Structures are given as structure tokens and as C-alpha cells.
Amino acid sequence: MYGSLGCPRGYGRWWLKILAVGWMMLVMWVAVFIIHAQGEYDESTKSSTSAASSTVTSKDQSIYSNWSKSFLDYDTVYTNSSDVNFPLIVFTTVGRLGNCLNSYATALTFADRFNATIAVSQEIFLSISTLLAPQYLTLPVIASELVVDAYDMGVLETVTPDYIKDDMVSHLLPAIQNAISQYQQNHEQILYLLEGYPNRMKMLSGYHDKIRQNFRIRDDLKEKALLFLKNLRDQMSTKPTFIGFHIRRGDYLNFMETFFKCKIPNETFYLAALKYYRSRFPNAVFVVCSDDVEHMHKNLAGASDIIFSSMS
């Protein structure tokens, strides 16, 4: 899932190292999750997996329904009894799941550090709740309608990053500090939207425990993954070490070449990565998933220790 990466013009070898580390972190995260899931299964009871999955899913849906009623709307925020500590600062993004996860994690690093309310948009919450259990997400959620209402009432201010320089983080701290300063001066109840795709891992340093407490995989998804791995394990004569292998392609094919003059990982590096992990884990079994199924089968089919995930 990593590969030979071309280096962006003018950025030098440091950019190559950073990008390579990012790919390594992603594959290791997937690997750790699957291995951890394998361990959890071994310690679990022998109760019916399908029944447990159904129960947990129903429970999560109930919790989500309660959360939906708790989204902050205009009436809730702009009342005398509001629990909002102005200024109200909302992280938002038009990105998909990965960007929403990064935005939420980054927002967590600012929460409780300032005399302000740090929240996320409803869109971010809905996106990450497809993967994470919503009951553990601690940040306030702003209803979409509130953004529209705040704009109509003239109390909305949007802060955008430097998209040209692909700088998604430098605007965050100054925007928060400025919002607090402005409120202290005039007490105007402004809603600040912080846009962008914050993705700097160093910003999360020191907040790993807090992020882990919020980012817990949905139980129904874990049960589904455990059942998938159990079925594989039951077909094998020796105890395997499952290693997750994710191949991200999709829009990255054009995105990386257009903006960074890089080529995404290819089959040469796939084979190198497989060789490396085979040398470390004699009973390695690679569970491969990708957003490009045809490419996945074309480049990795044939090996007995490679399993293509059929989970949707």
C-alpha cells in the first residue's frame, strides 16, 4: 500500500520522507486494528456473533437518535440559558471520512485549552459515526441549520486556509485567538467556521489518549470483522497473524500527480511490503481491501497468504 513515490518539485527529499511516513502510519494502523481485533475475539465469549451484532447495531442507532436531538440549533445557542461559551468555534470540512477524522481529532486538541466552545459540524459527526461509536464522541455538534440561520442573522464568520499553499493548519490558532479577543472586546455572539483539511500529525502529539477515548470503532463493525477473521482462521491449520493491507487509489491517482507531482504506490512496492512482513511473521496472512477492486486482484492475486476482503 505504499510505493515508489516521486518527489514534488522544489520540495526536496524531506517531502518524500514525510509522505512515506504517512503511508507507513496508515498501513500499520490497519494492521494493528486487525491484530487487536483478532485478540479481542480470542477473549470473547461464545455467544452468537450475529445476535450480538444485531443488538449492538440497534443500541448504536438509539444512541445516534439521541445525539441527533442534541445537535446545537439556533434556539439552543442563542438563548439566555445557553451552555455555549462564546465565541462558538466550529471545525468543518467538505472532505470525506479521512478528512473528517482529521478535523475532529484536530478540534479535540483545541478543546478545553481556551475560554470558548470548540465544536464540529453536523456533517463531520455524521461522517465519522459511520465508523466510530457516537456515544464516545465528546465534542458539541452544530446542526447544519444553525450555520444557515447564523448567516442570515449576520453572526457567521468563515475562516479559510491557504488552499494555494496547501496550508491547512496555520489559520487555526490565530483564528481562535482572534475570535476570543473580539468577543472580549464587543461580546458579539459570533459563530466562526474553520474550514480546511487539517492533516498534520505533529499537531496531535500529546493528545493521543484523548483521541483514543473518542475514536472507538463501532461494536457492530468490530463484530463483523471478528466474524470474518474467525471464518478465515477456521479454514487454516496453523494460527495466522492477520495483517491489514489497504490500497488507496480513487481520486488520489489524479490528486497526487496534479498537486504534488507524485506517483502513488504501485505493484513493485506492494511486493516489497509483502516480502518485508513475511520475513517478520512466518504465518502472516494479508487481508487486502481497496477502493479499486480490479487493480487489487490484478496485482496481488495468486499468493496463498493473500485474502481479499469481501466485507462491504
DSSP structure class, residue 12: -
pLDDT of residue 47: 35
Any bridge partners for residue 288, and if so which? 245, 308
Exposure string for 109-121, b = 16+ CB within 10 A, e = fewer: bbbeebebbbbbb
User: Which of 208, 216, 108, 91 minimizes the C-alpha distance to 158?
Assistant: 91
Exposure string for 155-168, b = 16+ CB within 10 A, e = fewer: bbbebebeeeeeeb
How do residues 19-50 score in pLDDT, each as one tens digit? 443 444 444 444 444 444 444 444 433 332 33
pLDDT of residue 48: 29
How do residues 183-223 score in pLDDT, each as one tens digit? 999 999 999 999 999 988 899 999 999 999 999 999 999 99
Give 67's pLDDT tier (boundaries 50, 70, 90). Answer: low
* Domain residue limits, the chain: 13-43+236-308, 58-214
CA angle 89, 95, 101 (to 5 degrees): 70
Mean pLDDT of the chain: 82
Between 35-39, 109-113, 133-137, the lowest mean confidence (pLDDT) is in 35-39
pLDDT of residue 287: 95
pLDDT of residue 61: 53
The SS3 call for residue 308 is strand
Instruction: Say if residue 3's pLDDT is above 80.
Output: no
pLDDT of residue 215: 97
User: Which strands, in side-by-side order, build the sheet including 241-247?
Assistant: 241-247, 284-290, 306-308
